[in-house]
Structure 1
Amino acid sequence: MTKYRKYEGYLYILPWILGFFMFTVAPLGFAFYVGMTEWDTFNAPKFVGLQNYKDLFQDEYFLSSLWITVKFAILSIPLGIATSMFIAIMLNSKVRGVYFFRTALYMPAIVSGVSIALLWKWILDKDFGLLNLILSKFGIPAVGWLSNPDMVLPSYLIMALWGAGGGMLTYLAGLQDIPSHLYEAADIDGANAIQKFKNVTFPMLTPIIFYNLIMGIIGAMRKFTDAYIIGGAGNQGRFYMVYLYENAFRYFKMGYATAMAWVLFVIILLLTLLVFKTSSAWVFYVSEFSNKKEKKRRKKEVRHAK
């Protein structure tokens, strides 16, 4: 009986192993094959090798949609991180009604993406939109937020701020996890509010920034719902995922769309690995930070003793 006991563990994890191969490995393998075929989902796939990948980089719409997505990511990720952190710092205080504001600012992050897109489509409407109505009160003429190609990207950046409450929650948790003795030590050293933020708050929040940076890269590169519903003039609202969706379900170029998906996977993977590779230079943890502060203090004591 004992010789079979070593197989008990494998028996317990067998459902997970089966699920992993059935719902992860097998679909990935099939997608890898589809990416090298010409397939319209109605007829049998025709193997074309790497032709889909070669055609991608000769497709002006592919390149333009990739560039639009990259520009959005470059601008929206730091903007979202800074806004979420600012809101969290403002709400990390014991004032009356703070719980209401925390809830209100977090709510947009859990509302359906489709309903939010429809709401913003109305807000940004040139003739009847709320934003232009507010601007008109200050004598500013109506702006074609979605009808003017130059204003499409700023419009999506404004929309991106709507979900800043999701990141705010993680920063708020990080702020409340910062050891109070670090602030007490800063007070003893005579540090002002700016110096406390620079030398204590910001370093202690770098693990949260690291997490939100990774999630921001993934989210920005996979932007789809609001871009698909709202669009934008001059194809400026055709983000990468929108063009991928069009190829798959409008033009039925499933092999071509799958190749696009693999290219996007490689881009996100490389960016994520880059962030992980550089994290040791700018991400600090409580134990590391405390050790550095202690070493710095000892160096000062040695200099004064000399």
Structure 2
Amino acid sequence: MSVIAELRRARGRKSNTTVKRENKVAYLFLVPWLLGFFGLSVIPMVSSLYLSFTDYSLIKPPTWIGLENFQHMLGDARLTNSLRVTFTYVMFSVPLQLTFALLIAMLLDRGMRGLAFYRSVFYLPSLLGSSVAIAILWRQIFGTSGLVNQFLALFNLTGPGWVSSPDTALGTIVILHVWTFGAPMIIFLAGLRQIPAMYYEAAQVDGANAFQRFIKITLPLLSPIIFFNLVLQLIGSFQSFTQAFIVSGGTGGPADSTMFYTMYLYMKGFAQLHMGYASAMAWVLALIIGAFTALNFIASKWWVFYDD
């Protein structure tokens, strides 16, 4: 018996040694990720939190001023306008994009020929929509002599300068955001493929029409996917920058009609060198996004259906 016990103890010691060696290897592979996590995320976040309580111009060392940056934000009329523009953009662009993405996903879910090709084509704008090249192209399309006005001229109609008018400039950026519907569309399509066909067959036997099947079956069973897309697109829309920056020529014009919060933050930090104030703005934006995300999670209890 003593020999067997000794063998078991030896096996246990060998097992512990193997586990420790494997743990060391695992930690070694984690080192690049940990360096990136702390070097590119944690340390910059902590630094920006400190800078938000300072007067910092990137040239001189930061000077502690407490809550003055946040107090100044309360009386900043241009910041208030940037919040109004951003909220308007989010309020219109997110629902329109998700609605359009769901409609296209439902069309593709019918099993048409060449589905893989259409799926790739529709997804392509999501890869290009935030690029500088597409934003420049969009500015040309909606310019005074752009493609839109050239098309209207065929019917003897004179279109305005869509990107140079305060009434329509923001709308062109909303359309650009809606055009990049590919990513949520792919997610919707995957969700639609998971809904059992027998539900639709049973409803059809009971006399339910297409609209009733959509309201009573598709939307409830797809609600977790809708919620997921809503949260992702909401967060992304609040952080939109490139499109408005390029379309407006980096000014937020005309008349600050495309002055997104992120663009004003950029101008304060890198154009006017008020990095302390820009850091405070960044943390306010983080709180706004966090608040809207939390509200979505709270409200999801009443409209998101999880099939247990």
Give the TM bin, normalised by the shorter chain.
0.7 to 0.9
User: What's the offset of the Cα at 1:30?
Assistant: 1.1
Aligned CA distance change for structure 1 residues 4 and 40 (closer, same or farther; 3 Å): farther
- Report the counterpart of residue 139 of structure 2 in structure 1: 121
1:184 maps onto 2:206 in alignment = no
- Report the counterpart of residue 293 of structure 1 in structure 2: none
SS of the counterpart of 2:167? helix
**Distance in 1 separating the partners of 2:22 and 2:301:** 36
- Report the counterpart of residue 223 of structure 1 in structure 2: 240
Alignment TM-score, normalising by the size of structure 1:
0.87
**Distance in 1 separating the partners of 2:46 and 2:293:** 22
Give the counterpart letter for 1:255 in structure 2. Answer: G
**Distance in 2 separating the partners of 1:104 and 1:62:** 38
- Report the counterpart of residue 163 of structure 1 in structure 2: 180
- Report the counterpart of residue 204 of structure 1 in structure 2: 221
Tell me which of 133, 146, 152 is aligned to 1:135: 152
User: What's the offset of the Cα at 1:140?
Assistant: 2.5
Q: Which runs of 5+ in 1 are unaligned?
A: 288-306
- Runs of 4+ aligned residues of structure 1 deviating over 4 Å after TM superposition are 1-11, 16-19
Alignment TM-score, normalising by the size of structure 2:
0.86
1:242 maps onto 2:263 in alignment = yes
Is the Cα contact below 8 Å between 2:97 and 2:179 reproduced in 1?
no
Equivalent pairs counted in the alignment come to 286
- Report the counterpart of residue 87 of structure 1 in structure 2: 104
Question: Radius of gyration: which is bigger?
Answer: 2
User: What's the offset of the Cα at 1:3?
Assistant: 8.6
CA-to-partner distance for each residue in 1:228-276, whole Å, 9 max, x for gaps?
A: 1111311111111111111111111110111000000000000000101
CA-to-partner distance for each residue in 1:52-103, whole Å, 9 max, x for gaps?
A: 1111121111110111000110111111111110111111122233333222
**Distance in 1 separating the partners of 2:174 and 2:36:** 39
Aligned residue runs from structure 1 range 1-306, under 5 A: 11=24, 12-13=26-27, 15=31, 19-111=36-128, 113-126=131-144, 128-231=145-248, 232-287=253-308
Q: Which stretch shows the higher mean deviation, 166-175 or 11-20?
A: 11-20
Q: Which stretch shows the higher mean deviation, 158-167 or 266-275?
A: 158-167
User: What's the offset of the Cα at 1:181?
Assistant: 2.1
SS of the counterpart of 1:274? helix
Q: Which runs of 5+ in 2 are unaligned?
A: 1-12
**Distance in 2 separating the partners of 1:258 and 1:5:** 47
**Distance in 1 separating the partners of 2:279 and 2:23:** 34
**Distance in 2 separating the partners of 1:282 and 1:120:** 36
**Distance in 2 separating the partners of 1:18 and 1:6:** 24
